Structure 1
């Protein structure tokens, strides 16, 4: 059984039909890319999975649980984490404290009231900062980081609660070519413990890190398969030639 099963999901915004009967399976331990022209429904589908808005029809099953109408909090408790396109770090806090707070969000109220978790969590915070090449900036304010580093910090925060599934919406947007390359390198090791769904416009980046791709066009699934299958698809080639 797939870790995530999406069946017949549709979503409308007044007269705009953003998603139409979308079916997607995401297997555990894989990186799954969502690609397509602007306005094809990629981010809408990601938000429907995360609970940022509810689908009008269809079902979403995550790790055996029907989450179609679950709140974002309930989905997070089941092991789902989301990083939106717009960076949402806390700029007036240190890089260290941003990650610490992300981890503490899963702590019990008693431990937080007793302030007993900061010291105990230091090893986890440090490990995440080292993994995302931010350990040298630990004491700096998050606002002082470059755009790319802020993106890495937010990915680290999204991974702080050890999710089973991480959703990334255009994580390399605004990055330099070198930052995009490094981002792929930083993401690769998480496959051992976390499945990834990624929306991305940089086709070279997504091709290099993803195992499977789903191509959306005008709210519908145009094609799906491994990277080589999608690269050979005449339907996909036509859409990216005429509409991207």
Structure 2
């Protein structure tokens, strides 16, 4: 059974049909890419999965549970995490404290009131910062990081609660070519314990890290399959030649 199953998802904003009967399965332990022209519905689909807005019709089943009408909090507690396109770090707090607060969001109120979690979580926070090349910046303010480093910090924050599914919306936007390559290398190890859905305009980046691709166009699924299948697809080639 797929970790995430979407059937017949529709979402309309006034006269704009952003999603129009989307059917997608995402298998556990895979990196699944969403690609398509601007306005094809990619970010809308991510937000529908995360609960940032509800689909008008259709169903979303996550890890065997229907979350179609679940709140964002309920989805997060079920093991779903989202990193939006625009970074949302707390610039006046240290890099370390940004990750700590993200991790503490899953703590019980008594533990937080007793302030017992900081010392206990220190090893986890350090490991995340090490993984995303931020350990040497742990005491620096998050606002002092480069754009690429802030993106890495927010991914670390999204992973702090050990989600089953991570949603990334254009994580390499604004990065240098070297930072994009580094981001791919940094993400690869999480596949052992976390499934990934990623929206990205950099086709070279998404081709290199994803196992499966879904191509959206005008709110509909144009084609799905592994990278090689999508690269050979005449329908996809036509869309990316004429509308991207």
- Alignment TM-score, normalising by the size of structure 2: 1.00
- State the distance in 1 between where 2:44 and 2:108 align: 33
Aligned 1:132-171 pairs, distance under 5 A? 132-171=132-171
Q: What is the Cα deviation at residue 145 of structure 1?
A: 0.1
Q: After superposition, what is the alpha-carbon deviation per residue over 1:1-45, rounded to whole angstroms, capped at 9, x for unaligned?
A: 100000000000000000000000000000000000000000000
- State the distance in 2 between where 1:97 and 1:9 align: 38
SS in 2 for 1:2: coil
- State the distance in 2 between where 1:106 and 1:20 align: 35
- State the distance in 2 between where 1:58 and 1:110 align: 39
Partner of 2:222: 222
Q: What is the Cα deviation at residue 213 of structure 1?
A: 0.1
Partner of 2:239: 239
Q: After superposition, what is the alpha-carbon deviation per residue over 1:29-64, rounded to whole angstroms, capped at 9, x for unaligned?
A: 000000000000000000000000000000000000
Q: What is the aligned length?
A: 244
Partner of 1:126: 126
- State the distance in 1 between where 2:111 and 2:61 align: 33
Q: What is the Cα deviation at residue 240 of structure 1?
A: 0.1
- State the distance in 2 between where 1:224 and 1:116 align: 47
Runs of 4+ residues over 2 Å off in structure 1: none
RMSD: 0.3
Partner of 2:49: 49
Q: After superposition, what is the alpha-carbon deviation per residue over 1:188-219, rounded to whole angstroms, capped at 9, x for unaligned?
A: 00000000000000000000000000000000
Matched, 1:199 2:199: yes
Q: Name structure 1 gaps, 5 residues minimum.
A: none
